[in-house]
């Protein structure tokens, strides 16, 4: 019985004498029977055939589709006689048996016992109608094979045998109907052909039965052929209401809902009155074709024609309302069923729960499920599937797990739909490991995954953004391809073009499929040359109207973005068949995939270099460690952002004007002092916090404030961070160390010794760490993080981002640069789970994303990023090899060792920072921990510059230079001691504000030269590189960016 159908109704009872004999025969047959659970099976006092999806009409009851005068009845009795209740009127003898008695005898036979002689003798006392009833009774008792055996005895009898005469339209039609349960359409067709050969009449019931066999066997087109042949070949056979109902069912299963509706008009045209079942079947057909509004229109027509809905009607109506997300209407129908005390079947509750799922009401779905259990209605697989899906839609993976476990405990076997919904629930809940476990459990259960399951699990793993989860996604994709899924056209030389079709795939599957396709092209081009490739290669991302399935807009955008960003030969072309397709010649593609630019693209988009050698244990261990560390780190981020903030209107105009110059100077000093990039970003945040508290800051003191903030940030960093010595401070900053120490004291006093600073760069490093960049090699690290870190440096200069939390700015930067590069997912699900930023549409995120996208579109940054990545690819080449668990990523170190041992080396990705300074950007986490965050709640108190433990407490005079200067309040002389002649805004040697850019190419060349230290191993900046840095400063001061979008620049 298909979903949306229900049994015809309660079975009618036989006469008391026949029922008693039948009960006694059944009791004898069932004596000593033991059920599956080991308990004795007790038959009920009144015999009732179990319902297994077959016709429930009882022996003497009204048959489905029959009217008065039907050939099956013809006014005759139960066994073919005129109103009789015994054997056929052809004669009775001692060997005569009733149909029920014969059925019981055959039921008791052993599996290999032949039909006894008593049965063969009794057959001679029956007519063909009684034989047809016997065959149906055997089928109801689960003896389909015996029924077929019995009919084979009749059809193989000698033509002169009286048994041969029992083979007529009635017995043949009954036997064809039995083929429904054995799913044997070939035998049904054989019997039909045999009837034609023996010149046996085929009536409307014969053709209708054959159509039903075809439907049950999935041969829908063959069912239509049989209907058409009935109308054309045998014009004397007129379809009845049962035939038309079957035809509606065929059209519904074929997705031809318009033709199904036309059948209703055809019936009325030919004088066949539709019945309630006709309308019910048509409503179900419309629902099946995903046309719920048409189903509702048919329901209105049902009412207009004077029919009263039954439980089947209401079940279909609930399904229609559910598909249109009208949960309220569906619940009204359910209430009406309760009011009329109608039978509520498993279909009723499954349809209601499905309606809740489509409306996103998982709580209501659980309530309906509880009512179902109180109604003693046993859930089936469809019910549980809808409930798991409802919990998944609501992001309730724990509830989905509970329902799944309850399903298994109640003996209901999960199917592919169940596991797909469960995997979806885990994906929405950020539980990719549980999703992978569910997939493995499904395979162990023997449930073969289909393309839908593979789409779900691969997309779940890929959307995490975690490199080892994406590596597992690649493994599963290759397994799916081996099993015949996601197959593409072979890359063989032939005229015309060969396509890779990504249209109906999830984003994760599409990206992995494209990756494998491009690697295969590279292999062929390298081993056999471009001549072995097809003449034209194409990437289909949107089939448009050529497909019934909706395309994935993310795939369409991402593929176009990645090809454009890397200047790939694929170009969007106008195609009469598809809505979006990128095309290139094989010569162009071969030249591209064999070049270093292609290796760089792989490093930036697919940092999954052969993780197939990792075991599941190593996956779990690595994931647990990284997840715990990042959760602790982001908890510190949230605590800082919830307890701190900036007051932008308190910042003086002088500070706002000089801020870009100060940032550039701090970047330059940080590079010279070999400080980690997080330190300078923390220093800028400390400087902003100071400016928020000090309403008036003399402009000549600002450089000292910046240096003091930098030293504070270095001191409160990770234990592996080095702290500049006084000699280094005086030599590089040209400021007296005592003045710097005094300003540190003042800043601490102004901030009440709360000098916490968790900057955008630190948050960005947390995000990158969660994605697993620690475990990548040098090239992949730069490909994954280089562009984002450039933008993080540039974001320091945009005042509009000061109104956003650092974690939000970092999220916006990562989202914007990944989207520009076409790196799917744009915002990984694991970062969504970590941060709670589930979409990019909240007001704060909207502002940050808009600015980040504006920064990312500046041509100079993309060119610098690509130039450096191509250089790295050219040095080592990207080969999908094993991921190093502890890669040597040391480059361009410089500077003495920190207090905790050798200082982690730095990768100079650099960026103009908007104002001439190159930052030494560390892409390597510290050895001591995942992210160097300031210890929460523990502040380092700098000893007073004048005095020891007994020094006086904080006094306003100690930080008057940073306080809201009132009338007559002068800046203490010692606060700015030694500041005469210090390079300041516009002074010689200071970094200048960036102007309109003109010479990007020269700037990129200078930056590339400055990054030569990335070649091999830990080396310091050579003289040539230092000269390049100085050249970059000069170029930046003259060239700048492409528009000066940042506020305050």
Structure tokens at 1048: 């305050």
**For 346, how many CA atoms within 13 A lie in the half-sphere containing its CB?**
16
Q: What local confidence, expressed as pLDDT, does residue 805 receive?
A: 95
Q: Looking at residues 191-195, what average pLDDT do you find? A: 90
Q: How confident is the model at residue 811 (pLDDT cuts 50, 70, 90)?
A: very high
Could you give the residue ranges of the DSSP H alpha helices within 759-897?
760-771, 778-795, 806-821, 829-835, 843-856, 859-876
- Architecture in CATH for domain 488-594: 2-Layer Sandwich (3.30)
Contact 936, 639 (CB under 8 A): yes
**Which is more confidently placed, 768 or 83?**
768
More confident: 604 or 85: 604
Calculate mean pLDDT across residues 588-612: 82
Check residues 44 and 842 and name the one with the higher pLDDT: 842
- Residue 57 confidence (pLDDT): 37
Q: Of the ranges 574-583, 645-654, 751-760, 961-970, which one carries the lowest mean pLDDT score?
A: 961-970
Q: CA–CA separation, 229 vs 220, rounded Å?
A: 14
Task: Quote the percentage of the chain above a pLDDT of 90.
Answer: 43
Higher-confidence position of 91 and 264: 264
Quote the CA–CA distance of 489 and 497 in Å, as a whole number: 10
Tell me the pLDDT of the chain averaged across its residues: 76
CATH of 633-856+878-890+925-966, one of 3.30.70.330, 1.10.472.10, 3.60.20.10, 3.40.50.300: 1.10.472.10
Give the per-residue pLDDT at 125: 84
Is residue 903's pLDDT more than 70? no
Work out the pLDDT band at 799, boundaries 50, 70, 90: very high
User: Is pLDDT above 90 for 41?
Assistant: no
**Separation between Cα atoms, residue 503 and residue 554, nearest integer Å:** 11
Q: What is the pLDDT of residue 75?
A: 39
894 pLDDT exceeds 90? no
Matching residue, tokens 């779940």 = 460
Task: Give residue 71's pLDDT.
Answer: 38
The domain segmentation of the chain, as residue ranges, is 71-287, 414-485, 488-594, 633-856+878-890+925-966
**pLDDT band at residue 35, thresholds of 50, 70 and 90?**
very low
Burial of 947 (0-12, 13-18, 19+ CB in 10 A): exposed
Which of the four pLDDT bands, split at 50, 70 and 90, describes residue 718? low
pLDDT(142) > 80: yes
Please report which helix (H) or strand (E) contains residue 349, including its range. Answer: helix 346-358
- Mean pLDDT is highest, among 24-33, 329-338, 596-605, 719-728, for 329-338
> Can you give the pLDDT at residue 827?
94
> CA–CA separation, 130 vs 151, rounded Å?
13
Statement: residue 994 has pLDDT above 50? no
pLDDT at 163: 85
Q: Which of 465, 478, 473, 520 is nearest to 498 (CA)?
A: 520
Task: Say whether pLDDT at 1007 is over 70.
Answer: no
pLDDT of residue 798: 93
Give per-residue pLDDT as tens, 919-960: 333 333 333 223 233 333 323 333 333 333 333 333 323 233
Kindly state the average pLDDT of the residues 313-339.
93
Question: With 60 as the cut, is the pLDDT of residue 622 above it?
Answer: yes
Q: Report the range of poorest mean pLDDT among 36-45, 447-456, 559-568, 681-690.
A: 36-45
- If you average pLDDT over residues 322-333, what whole number do you get? 93
Residue 180 pLDDT = 85
Of 789, 842, 799, 836, which Cα lies nearest the Cα of 1011? 789
Q: pLDDT at residue 108 above 80?
A: yes
Whether the predicted pLDDT of 1042 surpasses 80: no
pLDDT of 521 > 60? The answer is: yes
838 with 801: CB under 8 angstroms?
no
H or E stretch at 473: helix 467-482
Alpha-carbon distance 217 to 453, whole Å? Answer: 24
Query: Residue 901 pLDDT more than 60?
Result: no
pLDDT at position 524? 93
Contact call for residues 685 and 763 (beta carbons, < 8 A)? no
Cis amide linkage into residue 825, ω under 30° from 0: yes
Candidate from 580-589, 672-681, 826-835, 997-1006 with smallest mean pLDDT: 997-1006
pLDDT of residue 797: 94
**Least-confidence region, from 451-460, 850-859, 883-892:** 883-892
**Which CATH code fits 71-287?**
1.25.40.10
| pLDDT recorded at residue 721 | 66
How many Å separate Cα 529 from the centre of its chain? 38
- SS (HEC) of 549-572: CCCCHHHHHHHHHHHHHCCCCCEE
End-to-end Cα spacing for the chain = 72
Report pLDDT for 760.
Answer: 96
User: What share of the chain has pLDDT > 70, as a percent?
Assistant: 72
Measured in degrees and rounded to the nearest 5, phi and psi for residue 352 equal: -65, -45
């Amino acid at each position: 019985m298909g979903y949306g159908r229900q049994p015809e109704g309660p079975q009618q009872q036989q006469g008391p004498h026949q029922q008693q004999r039948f009960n006694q025969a059944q009791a004898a047959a069932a004596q000593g029977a033991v059920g599956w659970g080991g308990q004795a099976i007790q038959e009920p006092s009144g015999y009732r055939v179990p319902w297994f999806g077959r016709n429930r009409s009882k022996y003497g009851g009204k048959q489905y589709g029959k009217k008065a005068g039907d050939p099956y009845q013809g006014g005759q009795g139960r066994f073919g006689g005129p109103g009789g209740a015994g054997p056929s009127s052809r004669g009775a003898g001692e060997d005569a048996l009733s149909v029920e008695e014969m059925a019981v005898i055959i039921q008791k036979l052993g599996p290999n016992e032949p039909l006894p002689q008593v049965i063969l003798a009794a057959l001679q006392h029956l007519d063909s109608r009684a034989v047809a009833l016997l065959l149906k009774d055997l089928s109801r008792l689960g003896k389909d094979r015996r029924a077929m055996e019995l009919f084979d005895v009749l059809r193989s009898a000698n033509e002169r045998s009286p048994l041969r005469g029992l083979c007529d339209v009635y017995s043949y039609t009954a036997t064809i109907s039995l083929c429904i349960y054995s799913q044997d359409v070939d035998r049904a067709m054989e019997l039909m052909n045999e009837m034609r050969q023996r010149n046996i009449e085929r009536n409307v019931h014969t053709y209708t039965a054959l159509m039903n066999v075809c439907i049950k066997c999935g041969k829908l087109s063959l069912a239509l052929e049989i209907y058409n042949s009935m109308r054309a070949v045998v014009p004397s056979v007129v379809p009845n209401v049962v035939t038309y109902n079957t035809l509606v069912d065929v059209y519904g299963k074929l997705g031809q809902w318009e033709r199904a509706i036309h059948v209703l008009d055809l019936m009325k045209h030919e004088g066949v009155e539709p019945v309630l079942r006709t309308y019910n079947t048509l409503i179900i057909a419309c629902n099946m074709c995903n046309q719920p509004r048409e189903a509702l229109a048919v329901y209105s027509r049902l009412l207009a024609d004077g029919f009263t809905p039954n439980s089947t009607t209401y079940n279909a109506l609930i399904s229609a309302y559910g598909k249109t997300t009208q949960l309220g209407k569906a619940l009204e129908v359910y209430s009406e069923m309760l009011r009329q005390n109608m039978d509520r079947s498993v279909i009723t509750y499954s349809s209601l729960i499905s309606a809740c799922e489509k409306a996103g009401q998982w709580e209501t779905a659980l309530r309906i499920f509880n009512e179902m259990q109180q109604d003693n209605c046993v859930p089936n697989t469809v019910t549980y599937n809808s409930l798991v899906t409802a919990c998944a839609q609501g992001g309730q993976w724990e509830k989905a797990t509970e329902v799944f476990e309850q399903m298994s405990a109640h003996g209901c076997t999960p199917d592919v739909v169940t596991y797909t919904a469960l995997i979806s629930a885990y994906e929405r809940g950020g539980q990719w490991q549980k999703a992978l476990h569910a997939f493995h459990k499904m395979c162990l259960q023997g449930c073969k995954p289909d393309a839908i399951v593979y789409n779900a699990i691969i997309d779940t793993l890929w959307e995490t953004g975690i490199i080892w989860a994406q590596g597992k996604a690649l493994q599963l994709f290759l397994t799916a391809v081996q099993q015949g899924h996601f197959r593409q056209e072979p890359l063989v030389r032939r005229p015309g073009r060969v396509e890779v079709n990504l249209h109906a795939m999830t984003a994760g599957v599409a990206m992995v499929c494209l990756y494998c396709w491009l690697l295969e092209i590279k292999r062929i081009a390298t081993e056999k040359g471009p001549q072995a490739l097809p003449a034209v290669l194409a990437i289909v991302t949107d089939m448009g109207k050529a497909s019934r399935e909706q395309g994935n807009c993310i795939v369409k955008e991402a593929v176009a973005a990645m090809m454009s960003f890397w200047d790939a030969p694929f170009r969007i072309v106008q195609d009469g068949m598809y809505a979006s397709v990128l095309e290139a010649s094989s010569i162009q593609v071969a030249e591209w995939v064999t070049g270093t630019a292609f290796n760089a693209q792989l490093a930036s988009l697919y940092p999954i270099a052969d993780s197939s050698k990792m075991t599941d244990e190593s996956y779990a261990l690595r994931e647990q460690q990284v997840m715990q560390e990042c959760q602790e780190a982001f908890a510190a981020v949230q605590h800082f952002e919830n307890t701190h903030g900036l007051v932008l209107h308190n910042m003086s105009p002088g500070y706002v004007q000089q801020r870009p110059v100060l940032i550039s100077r701090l970047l330059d000093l940080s590079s010279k002092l070999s400080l980690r990039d997080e330190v300078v970003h923390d220093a800028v945040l400390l400087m902003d916090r100071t400016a928020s508290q000090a309403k008036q800051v003399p402009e000549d003191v600002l450089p000292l404030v910046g240096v003091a903030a930098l030293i504070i940030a270095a001191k409160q960093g990770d234990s592996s961070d080095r702290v500049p010595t006084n000699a280094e401070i005086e030599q590089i900053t040209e400021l007296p160390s005592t003045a710097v120490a005094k300003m540190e004291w003042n800043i601490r006093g102004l901030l009440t010794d709360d000098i916490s600073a968790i900057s955008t760069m630190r948050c960005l490093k947390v995000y990158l760490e969660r994605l697993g960049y620690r475990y990548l090699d040098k090239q992949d690290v730069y490909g994954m993080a280089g562009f984002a870190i450039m933008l993080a440096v540039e974001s320091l200069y945009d005042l509009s981002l000061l109104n956003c939390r650092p974690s939000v700015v970092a999220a916006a930067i990562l989202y914007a640069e990944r989207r520009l590069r076409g790196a799917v997912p744009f915002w990984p699900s694991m970062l969504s789970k970590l941060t709670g930023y589930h979409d990019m549409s909240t007001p704060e995120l909207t502002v940050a994303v808009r600015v980040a996208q504006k920064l990312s579109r500046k041509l100079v940054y993309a060119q610098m990023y690509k130039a450096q990545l191509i250089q790295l690819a050219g040095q080592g080449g990207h080969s999908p090899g094993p991921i190093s668990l502890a890669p040597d990523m040391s480059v361009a170190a410089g500077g003495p060792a920190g207090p905790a041992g050798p200082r982690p080396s730095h990768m100079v990705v650099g960026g103009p920072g908007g104002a001439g300074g190159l930052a030494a950007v560390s892409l390597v986490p510290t050895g001591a921990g995942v992210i160097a965050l300031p210890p929460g709640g523990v502040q380092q108190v700098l000893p007073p510059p004048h005095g020891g433990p007994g020094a006086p407490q904080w006094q306003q005079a100690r930080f008057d230079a940073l306080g809201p200067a009132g009338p007559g309040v002068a800046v203490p002389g010692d606060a700015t001691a030694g500041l005469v002649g210090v390079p300041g805004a516009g002074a010689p040697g200071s970094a200048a504000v960036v102007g309109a850019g003109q010479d990007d190419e020269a700037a990129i060349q200078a930056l590339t030269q400055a990054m030569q230290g990335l070649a091999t191993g830990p080396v310091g900046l050579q003289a040539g590189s230092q000269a390049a840095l100085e050249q970059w400063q000069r170029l930046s001061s003259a060239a700048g960016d492409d528009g000066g979008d940042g506020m305050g620049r």
